[in-house]
């Protein structure tokens, strides 16, 4: 009985490629986020470590290279990729990804597995088509070519697999060379960085501790609180994390608290705080003095913030649930020394971590979110004390969500002005590279291999 049950149970566990195909098909049909589906699937099936790595590589790699893969596949599929059944389309996509982009997997292994999957899910005709298409790709893959540079938008779009509308907007903002560097960086593997909780330990001591435990780490070049972890496994499972000595946070995100520059015993508001990374960073800098209100619109995310606060042994954070645009109804005018608005945005600075964003977002999404950002910024302006600081940040590189919002806000709110003291809050070599205009910073993903981020620091006049 036991043996039979075990055998039955094993038959239900998918292979890495089968699981990857299911995830890609759900992402394709339901527009679901791949990272959430991947985590749920890996937790459900408990694959071996190598299978986990292969599934992850195939899912993210195939999504990253989606339109390039479809461009080439259409040269081999008579019916065209878009007209195939979703699972067949995604089986061919992930197989092409392995054949064209990965060196370590033998071609015959890719074909055999794809044919076996198509036999289990379809019929002989489909498996025959899959077999024929993949063998034809193997014969001709060295001859595959991208379009020439005569149409630079199409060329960059297919070379680095980004939507044409995105490439065109970035060329208009940054030029062709920088746009290509951004797109290339977006397809790289994001590195892991952690923030030291300086209330418990200093960065140098922690680096020594980590190296003694065989981790390859280096101090962040852009944040005095950051450590880049080049190898060391999942830091969320480490004792340093469990003991509250570190938080997992991208280096660009760490710059936000540095620009807010919170002081001891101040009263601060973080308008869109979940999951709490920037809030807790500011709370650490305030050395457990004063008060930080960590607000978020989603009630279920309040618990996430509380968990981080407890883990990091912080005592100066209070949580709040409210639409950021309505916070003026909750707090009195001139309540806060400093306010951080890390605004909802298109997220186009974090494509390396969330490659689905390339295909889920549209140009109209970028235009629609800009008005929401300006509305929130305008509505919280009265909450800043005279002489106080308002910091606006996003994790996007879109000018319509960044500097254009700040300029529109300043034109409507003359009691605020750009704060030039921002230059003193960051290392000068970093500041010079990421300075966009006076008082505004723009980190691009190709600068430090960190997330794309925008930060502006505004000062409220004393006499208002």
d(CA 431, CA 391): 16
> Which residue from 130, 20, 118 is spatially nearest to 77, judged by alpha carbons?
130
Per this entry, what is the length of the chain? Answer: 464
Instruction: Give the gyration radius of the chain's Cα atoms.
Output: 25
Residue 275, preceding peptide bond in cis (omega within 30° of 0) = yes
Cα dist from 140 to 99, 100, 126, 146, 326, whole Å: 11, 11, 21, 14, 59
β pairing state of 267-270 and 291-296: parallel
Q: Which of 183, 271, 345, 395 is catalytic?
A: 395
Note whether 38 and 23 are within 8 A (CB): yes
> Which residue from 350, 343, 342, 344 is spatially nearest to 450, judged by alpha carbons?
350
Note whether 139 and 43 are within 8 A (CB): no
d(CA 23, CA 59): 7
Backbone dihedral angles phi then psi of residue 453, each to the nearest 5 degrees: -145, 145
Classify the phi-psi angles of 38: left when phi > 0, otherwise alpha if psi is within -120 to 50, otherwise beta: alpha
d(CA 91, CA 120): 12
Our answer to whether residue 395 is catalytic in this structure is yes
- The secondary structure of the chain in percent helix, strand, coil, rounded to multiples of 5, reads 55, 15, 30
- The DSSP line for 120-179 is HHS-HHHHHHHHHHHHHHHHHGGG--PPPTTSHHHHHHHHTT--HHHHHHHHHHH-HHHH
Contacts of 462 (CB under 8 A, 6+ apart): 386, 387
Which residues are catalytically annotated?
395
């Amino acid at each position: 009985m036991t043996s039979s049950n075990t055998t039955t149970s094993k038959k239900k566990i998918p292979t890495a490629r089968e699981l990857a195909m299911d995830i890609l098909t759900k992402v394709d049909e339901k527009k679901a986020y791949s990272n959430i589906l991947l985590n749920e699937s890996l937790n459900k099936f408990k694959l071996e470590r190598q299978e986990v790595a292969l599934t992850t590589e195939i899912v993210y790699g195939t999504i990253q290279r989606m339109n390039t893969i479809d461009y080439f596949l259409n040269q081999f599929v008579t019916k065209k990729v878009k007209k195939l059944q979703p699972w067949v389309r995604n089986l061919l996509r992930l197989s092409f990804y392995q054949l064209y982009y990965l060196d370590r997997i033998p071609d015959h292994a890719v074909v055999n597995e794809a044919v076996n999957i198509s036999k289990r899910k379809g019929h002989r005709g489909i498996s025959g088509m899959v077999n024929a298409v993949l063998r034809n790709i193997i014969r001709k893959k060295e001859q595959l070519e991208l379009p020439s540079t005569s149409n630079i938008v199409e060329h960059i779009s297919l070379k680095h697999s980004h939507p044409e509308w995105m490439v065109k907007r970035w060329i208009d903002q940054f030029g062709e060379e920088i746009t290509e560097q951004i797109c290339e960086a977006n397809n790289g593997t994001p590195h892991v960085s952690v923030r030291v909780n300086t209330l418990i330990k200093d960065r140098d001591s922690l680096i020594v501790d980590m190296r003694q435990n065989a981790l390859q780490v280096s101090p962040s070049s852009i944040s005095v609180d950051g450590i880049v972890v080049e190898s060391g496994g999942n830091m969320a499972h480490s004792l340093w994390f469990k003991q509250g000595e570190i938080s997992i946070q991208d280096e660009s995100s760490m710059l936000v608290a540095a620009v807010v520059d919170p002081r001891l015993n101040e009263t601060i508001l973080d308008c869109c705080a979940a999951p709490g990374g920037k809030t807790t960073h500011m709370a650490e800098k305030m050395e457990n003095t004063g008060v930080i209100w960590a607000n978020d619109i989603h009630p279920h995310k309040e618990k996430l913030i509380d968990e981080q606060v407890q883990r990091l042994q912080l005592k100066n954070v209070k949580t709040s649930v409210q639409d950021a645009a309505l916070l003026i109804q909750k707090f009195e005018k001139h309540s806060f020394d400093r306010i951080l608005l890390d605004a909802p945005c298109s997220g186009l600075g974090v494509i390396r971590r969330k490659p689905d964003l390339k295909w889920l977002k549209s140009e109209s999404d970028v235009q629609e979110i800009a008005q929401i950002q300006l509305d929130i910024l305008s509505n919280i302006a009265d909450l800043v004390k005279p002489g106080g600081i308002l910091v606006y940040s996003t994790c996007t590189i879109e000018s319509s969500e960044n500097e254009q919002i700040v300029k529109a806000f300043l034109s409507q709110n003359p009691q605020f002005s750009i704060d030039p003291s921002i230059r003193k809050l960051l290392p000068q070599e970093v500041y010079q590279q990421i300075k966009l205009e006076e008082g505004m910073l723009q980190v691009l993903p190709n600068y430090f291999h960190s997330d794309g981020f925008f930060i502006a620091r505004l000062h409220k006049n004393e006499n208002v």
